Structure formats: C-alpha cells, structure tokens
Structure 1
Amino acid sequence: MNQNPYYGSGFYQPSGTPVPASGQNGYYAQQPAQQSTQAVQGAQAAQAAQAAQAAQAQFAMASGQLPLEQSYIENILRLNKGKQATVFMTYERNSSLGTQSYTGIIEAAGRDHVIISDPESGKRYLLLMIYLDYVEFPGEINYLPQGQAATYPPRR
C-alpha cells in the first residue's frame, strides 16, 4: 500500500501511475508516458528561458544598466546611488515615530529597503520601503540608464 496521502487523488501523478480517467468516477486509467515526457521537456524549456533572462539582467546590472521597463522605486534609487537624498517615512499610527525624514547619501536599495548614510554623523540607516512616502533630491535624478528611452508595453 502506498503511504503517500496524495496518491490516487489526482495530485500525485508520476509517469506510469494510475490517475483518474475523465468521466469515470472512481476508475483509473494509465497515464501515457509520452505526456510526461512532453511536460518534462516543456519545464526544461521554461527553465532555460528563465536562465537566459536572468543572465541578461545580471549582465545589464553588471554594466551599470537596468533592464528596460523596470522603473521601480528600488531601481531608481540604485541609479542614484552616491547622491544625496532626503527620504520621508510615515510609520504606523500607533507608533511614537510618526512621520520622519532621513537625509544622507544613498548607498544601496533593494526591493524592500534602502540604505542611506549620514556623512556628518557617520550613521547608516536601513529603511523599509513599506514606510516610504517619497524621496527628495537636491538636484537632478537619474531615472533611466543613459541612452535608453522609456519603452513600456501596453497594459493588459
């Protein structure tokens, strides 16, 4: 007897094992081996495509560029690394912090955080994007990598 709780339930379907046949309640049919081979080949093709996209993104990031149509806040902050900025944050209503601003040099930015350093005090702040209201720069900001025009796909 198989110990897998999903066996025969339609969730566990390795090649050549019984699976529910359509239209036959409670009866099982043999899964064709060709179907599982096609599924494996399709999964391998999808993995290869994802690896190619990741390699392109890594190359673009290594060369100081960002992939097109990615004007997310963290990418804009990365493009302005080394510039002075004031980051405005609002914390939860019940917090004693309320609204605060932090002025410093942008050191790094990720999907959920930004790191700035205050050259006067030597402090570094790791700020969470969830509390971010807006960012102020005293001068011009880099929005897109040099030489790249903004091309966005149509919304669906």
Structure 2
Amino acid sequence: MIPQAQYGSSYPAYPVPTTSSSMPSMPAPSGTGFPPAGGLQTGVNVPGQLPMEQSYIENILRLNLGKIVTIYMTYENNSQWNAKIFKGKLEAAGRDHIIISDPATGMRFLLLMVNLDYITFDEELNYMYPYTGGVGPR
C-alpha cells in the first residue's frame, strides 16, 4: 500500500483488499434501496437472449435476425477512414459484437459494438418493451 502522504491530505486512506477472497461473494441484502449489480430485474427471460437487465441492444438485434441492416461505425484515430458504413443481413449479435453477411457475396463481417454509432433497418423492427413483455413491430 502506498502511504497516504504521497497523495496529500485531501484523499482519505481506505484499506485496499489484497486478495479476491476478501471481497464479499453475496449480493447486497434486499431492501437496501439499490438494484442488484446486474441492474433491475424484469422477470422476462426469452430463450436465446441475455436477460433484459444485463443487455439491451443485442436483445433488440436478436429479435430482428435475418433482416437487412445498415450499420454506421466510427473508428477514432484511424488515418485511413474515420467512419465506415456496413450493409448486410443481420446474422447474430452479442454483448460486444454484431455479425452481418453480404447477401451478394456471402462475406461475413464481425463488427465490434465499441465502434457502433447507430443502426438503420429497411423494414419494421420487432421490439420487446421490457415492461409489457410484448413482442411486436414498433
């Protein structure tokens, strides 16, 4: 541990755990006023999707697999291209990635969510609103 004097007197000294075994393994008790670490529990679990409290964009994308999408991405500090547009059939989506394919060539693209600006669809979206539990075009 670095002595407090190196940081100055304005920073309080807090004990720092040195091993993971010193970290609590149980969630906070209910009634504390704070949601669980993963977010609010909605009670809606759809097979093939991550729970609603843990993800949002990938769940919406998974409800729309097979549709044609246009994906707008930005790549900061890239000397060749700063922004790029991808168009194709939505094949899969995960927490940190999207997979699309070019229907003409079959070429597949693995795109990282960290670069995602926005996505447009050529048709109506299937969208599950977390509070109603309904699925339908929006």
TM-score by length of 2: 0.58
Distance 2:56 2:114 in 1: 14
Structure 2 residue aligned with 1:87, among 62, 71, 84?
A: 71
The letter of the residue matching 1:99 is A
Say whether residues 1:148 and 2:127 are aligned partners.
no
Larger Rg: 1
Residues 10-57 of structure 1 show CA distances to partners (whole Å, capped at 9, x for unaligned) of x69xxxxxxxxxxxxxxxxxxxxxxxxxxxxx95xx9xxxxxxxxx87
1:42-57 counterparts in 2 under 5 A?
Answer: 43=26
Question: Aligned partners of 1:140, 1:113: CA distance in 2, in Å?
Answer: 22
Match of residue 138 from structure 1: 122
* Fraction of identical pairs, as percent: 53
The runs of at least 4 aligned residues of structure 1 exceeding 3 Å deviation read 64-71
2:91 to 97, 107, 112: 107
Shift of 1:97: 2.2
The separation in 2 between residues aligned to 1:131 and 1:117, in whole angstroms, is: 18
Q: What is the aligned residue count?
A: 103
Give the number of the structure whose residues are more often helix, by fraction. 1
Residue matched to 1:4: none
Residue pairs, 1:122-133, within 5 angstroms:
122-133=106-117
**TM-score normalised according to structure 1 size:** 0.52
Q: Structure 2: where are the runs of 5+ without partners?
A: 1-16, 19-24, 30-42
Match of 2:22 in 1: none
1:154 matched to which residue of 2? Answer: none
Q: Which runs of 5+ in 1 are unaligned?
A: 1-10, 13-41, 47-55, 151-156
Note closer, same or farther for the CA distance 1:135–1:93 as it changes in structure 2 (3 Å cut): same
Q: Distance in 2 between matches of 1:65 and 1:111?
A: 10
* Aligned alpha-carbon RMSD (Å): 3.7
| Partner Cα separation in structure 1 for residue 95 and residue 55 of structure 2 | 12
Query: Aligned equivalents of 2:125 and 2:81: distance in 1?
Result: 28
Alpha-carbon offset, residue 99 of structure 1: 1.0
Contact 2:55–2:95 (CA<8 Å) still a contact in 1?
no
CA distance 1:74–1:121, shift in 2 (3 Å): same
